[in-house]
Structure 1
Amino acid sequence: MAIRPALLVCLMLAVGAPLQAAETIRLSAAQQKTLQVVSQTAGESGGAAVSALPALVVVPNAQMRVIAAPVGGQIDRLAVAPGSQVRKGQVVAQLASPQGLELQRDALQASSQAGLLQQSLKRDEQLFAEGLIPESRVQATRAAAAQAAAQANERRQGLALAGLAPGKLAGSLALVSPIDGVVLEQSAQLGQRIEASAPIYRIAKLSPLWLEVQAPLNLASGLHEGAPLKVVGTDVVGKLLAIGKAVDAASQTVLLRAEVGKGSEQLIPGQAVAVELAGAGSAGLRLPAGAVISHEGQSWVFVQSTGNEQEVQFVPRPVRLLGQGGNSVQVDGVKPGEKVAVKGVSGLKAIFTGVGKE
């Protein structure tokens, strides 16, 4: 609320001598009514300290899969789209790949060669037992058979990694979902030619979900793993999983990771939310954001010291901001039960800062 100059001068004169940092602001009942100053008891909405902090909804790493092209080729079918529910083993895309044909051909040739050398090894071992060939020939055949078997096994593993079935030639490769989940992202288009390892879909299981919370260092130091939390504006609850060991140099915050299970369907990966995190102990009290002012690089609140029908008194008090979320802030420097001005604060600030400059 803007204060008219005449009213401000009147209030300054009513205060009297120049106001210093911790001196009292005295308002008559009429002045308090004009400024619309309203006080609230700190901590009256709850006993334990609660911090409202910004958070980001993310999918746990173990619940996410990327479906990529195992070999180069052309996409000739896309069976699902972002938002689709998929089951484990469900075909989600079809890839036409000449490179796949080459892998199958090489696997067939390696398998045939390994079979022929195994037969040759059996024949040479029989001839050696009958004394018809020298041992060196058996050893050479045995080495060749072992090498061919290893090569055939390598080709079979290559087919398995590419998702191709051994024993037959087929240029079309079916890509299947490795988990039950939801398609989050589609990275390729129908008819597109892609290289090996190019991503096509990103699929994830969306329960439970993680919340990545940025918490001030001094608040995070009072937390513990397992502390409960709640997403503001919802009935989604969870618990703290981990407290980061590194501090972000720019924001001086610590990354907290929390897990939410029941009610996680109300959240969407990438969504920005605010969380109320309990368990900070004596790490401050929550106040409406409008109760705190900033002056000369310091945060202040106006604590009501006394009050009656004729006069009410407020003392400016410096506080330390611990966190902010939504329309509330977490502060250190106010005791539970103290009354703090939460409305009409702009008028009190004008008196506090204006007279201090005289």
Structure 2
Amino acid sequence: MSFFRPSLGAVAVMLLSASPYLFAKEASNIFAISDDQMRALGIELVELKRQPDTVGTRFPAQVILPPQQEQVVSAPVAGLVSQIFVQENQRVAVGAPLVVLSSPQLGEQQLALVQAANRLRLVKATATRERALFNEGIIPQRRVDEAESAQRDAEAVLNQAQAMLTLSGVSKAELRRMTEKGVVSNELTVTAKTSATVTGLNAKLGQRVVAADPLLQLAKLDTLWLDVQIPSGEASRWTAGHKLHIAGGAEGTVLSVSPLTGNGQTAHVRAKVTSGATALRLGDFVQVELPVPTGSAWDIPIAAIARQGQQVVVFVRDKGNFNAIPIQVVASAGQRAKVSGTLKAGDRIAATSVIALKAAWQGVGGAEEE
């Protein structure tokens, strides 16, 4: 069985055709609707507000460090962690002690250095004596050449021993003390090479480590970057040098945009925080916005838009009439849309029952069959 139920457009036409205030102008998009008819149809108005100069869509980002701002402090030699002087989030200055390692390997390296220094002193004295004897005509030139060759060999061995200890973190002052006094120690104090903040602590007291094991991480937090994830379709809008707004009041600048698209159809953007970095913490997830000029775009409810073929309009209320104003939809997201057209701040547009206004505008009605 079928029956007819009047559509909202049909109700609109019946109400409007019974009113002496309704008139249609074929050459105009203006048509009359009384306040009583608006209430009967449930038409609500929204007022257009002045738009900011720029708008933008927000995207998620994570606060990261530039590669050159982060440092892993590794064990220079195998040994036992005997002391730890720092804790996470502690700021350290250049030369501050971090960790003490007890290492037999270090003792062997120092012993090799002392032996090489003693050997060099001996061959130097021998070379000096041989040159003096040669000058007196007592020995041949061959003996001088042999002594000088032995001196060069001893110098090379000493340089190698010093280089090994330097790589192990021994300072030049300590090297001089070892070579001059022959003092050997199995303990090595690992120090900070730059002023930074301890962001991670891997070492524990009593832990045995091998060479190159990570002991802790240091970071210079005066410069922060952002890793921004954006839809791949938005990547063309993001170019190096563009300014960013960061939630919380910070600002940034785009450094680069990845040319590759990830599995989630996203592109990665690297940006530098240029102001407000003190309000951000490493690892934070924040929202960033790339501002774009709005021009003449207006933010309106998507329900306020009516379509007739290729024409898109909104209905503007003006002195008892509605005016169907042609617009262009610039962008839409969710229940909002950005549109452009001959609109101005203060215009009141219909946000509900737009289908009824469309029927009145066209001067037609109908019924829906169920």
**Quick check: 1:192 aligned with 2:184?**
no
1:269 equivalent to 2:282? Answer yes
1:142, 1:148 → 2: CA distance?
10
1:282 deviation in Å? 7.6
Post-superposition shift, 1:77? Answer: 1.3
Do structure 1's residue 101 and structure 2's residue 103 form an aligned pair? no
Q: CA deviation at 1:13?
A: 7.2
- Aligned position for 2:249: 235
Alpha-carbon distance between aligned partners in 1 of 2:102 and 2:82, rounded to the nearest angstrom:
6
Q: CA deviation at 1:110?
A: 1.3
Q: 2:169 matched to 1:156?
A: no
Q: Which residue of 1 aligns with 2:186?
A: 171
Q: Which residue of 2 aligns with 1:111?
A: 117
Q: TM-score, normalised by structure 2?
A: 0.68
Q: Work out the CA distance in 2 between the residues paired with 1:80 and 1:125.
A: 55
| Map of 1:25 onto structure 2 | none
- Identify the match of residue 138 of structure 1 among 144, 161, 186: 144
User: Which of 299, 305, 309 lines up with 2:314 in the alignment?
Assistant: 305
CA distance in 2, matches of 1:199, 1:150: 31
The percent identity for this pair of structures is 25
Judging changes above 3 Å, is the alpha-carbon distance between structure 1 residues 82 and 12 closer, same or farther for their aligned structure 2 residues? farther
Tell whether 2:206 aligns with 1:201: no
Amino acid in structure 1 at the alignment position of 2:95: G
Aligned residues, how many? Answer: 312
Structure (1 or 2) with the larger CA radius of gyration: 2
Match of 2:52 in 1: 46
TM-score (norm 1): 0.70
* 8 Å Cα contact 2:246/2:286 also seen in 1: yes
Cα pair 1:52 1:328 within 8 Å, conserved: no
Distance 1:200 1:31, change over 3 A: farther
Can you give the 5+ residue segments of structure 1 that lack an aligned partner in the other structure? Answer: 1-7, 17-27, 293-302, 349-357
Once the two structures are superposed, the pairs formed by residues 26-105 of structure 1 within 5 Å of their partners are 29=38, 33=42, 44-105=50-111
Q: How does 1:277-316 map to 2 (within 5 A)?
A: 277-278=290-291, 280=292, 305-308=314-317
Counterpart Cα distance in 2 of 1:237 and 1:84: 27
- Structure 2 Cα separation of the partners of residues 284 and 312 of structure 1: 19
Measure the CA separation in 1 of the matches of 2:335 and 2:222.
Answer: 29
1:41 Cα deviation (Å)? Answer: 5.0
Quick one: which amino acid aligns to residue 181 of structure 1?
A
Structure 2 equivalent of residue 259 of structure 1: 272
Distance 2:259 2:93 in 1: 38
The one-letter code sitting in structure 1 at the alignment partner of 2:187 is: S
**Alignment CA distance shift 1:343-1:306 (3 Å):** closer
Where do 5+ consecutive residues of structure 2 fail to align? 14-36, 304-311, 356-369
